[in-house]
Amino acid sequence: MSSPAPSEPRWRRLPEERPTQILHAALEIFGEFGLARARLEDIAKRAGVSKGTIYLYFPNKEELFREMVRSTVVEAIAEWERIPEGPSATDQLVAYMRGYWQFVRSPAYAVIYRVAVSELHNFPDLVQFYNAEVASRVNRAIARIVKRGIDAGEFRHIEPSVAARMLTSLFSTNAMWCWKRQFFPHINNRSDDQVFAELVDFFLAALRP
């Protein structure tokens, strides 16, 4: 009896999945080495494709990072923007905060946040991209909800864009602490749900009339 033919590598059998495989590999490599030190050769090896295959989909490392952001952060933002207004601005804001907190606690955001904070200043084009596609868009969405609450008398009079900036800063900082709980005793005994409840309580108290 002849032995069965060896199965082909997954990337050969499913070429339509190659961009996704490459993006997943890029996320891992960027997380391990950062953007500047990451090499396309390493990403290709991790994805199980040739370096030339990457060039079929992404012309360079910077565009690979952009697409990684689009497929994670930007898709998440679009989902949050579809949150219905609901009975009150407070309900809508809490729903937005819940989605935002779940995302900033994700492995994908952990990598993107580290790159954005530590390396994007060396890539001016990526700074502009990140600001337009991520930071500004999130802040605008939050500011719209805050303004709705101000107009309805639910929130005190405050510049909506400032409130949005404070919210994203609070959430990102606490997410960073949660990633490295062992180094932050003040948060080490709190679950993600507890931290989220504290953030919501604090921020809504700051907004109330």
**0.75 surpassed by pTM:** yes
pLDDT at residue 15, as a whole number: 63
Nearest to residue 14, comparing CAs of 63, 60, 47? Answer: 47
CATH no. for 1-58: 1.10.10.60
Measure CA 77 to chain center. Answer: 9
Question: Domain-by-domain residue ranges, the chain?
Answer: 1-58, 68-207
Q: For 146-158, what is each residue's pLDDT tens digit?
A: 999 999 999 999 9
pLDDT at residue 55, as a whole number: 92
User: Rounded distance, CA 90 to CA 101, Å?
Assistant: 16
CB 125 within 8 A of CB 62: yes
Question: In the chain, which residues have pLDDT < 70?
Answer: 1-15
Taking CA 135 as the corner, what is the angle to CA 132 and CA 141, rounded to the nearest 5 degrees? Answer: 100
The region that residue 59 occupies, defined by phi over 0 for left and psi between -120 and 50 for alpha, beta otherwise, is alpha
CB 192 within 8 A of CB 178: yes
Residue with tokens 């904070």: 117
Nearest to residue 204, comparing CAs of 173, 172, 135, 158? Answer: 158
Give domain 68-207's CATH number out of 3.30.70.20, 3.10.105.10, 1.10.357.10, 3.40.50.300. Answer: 1.10.357.10
Mark 68-77 as b/e (b = at least 16 C-beta within 10 Å). bbebbbeebb
pLDDT at residue 75, as a whole number: 86
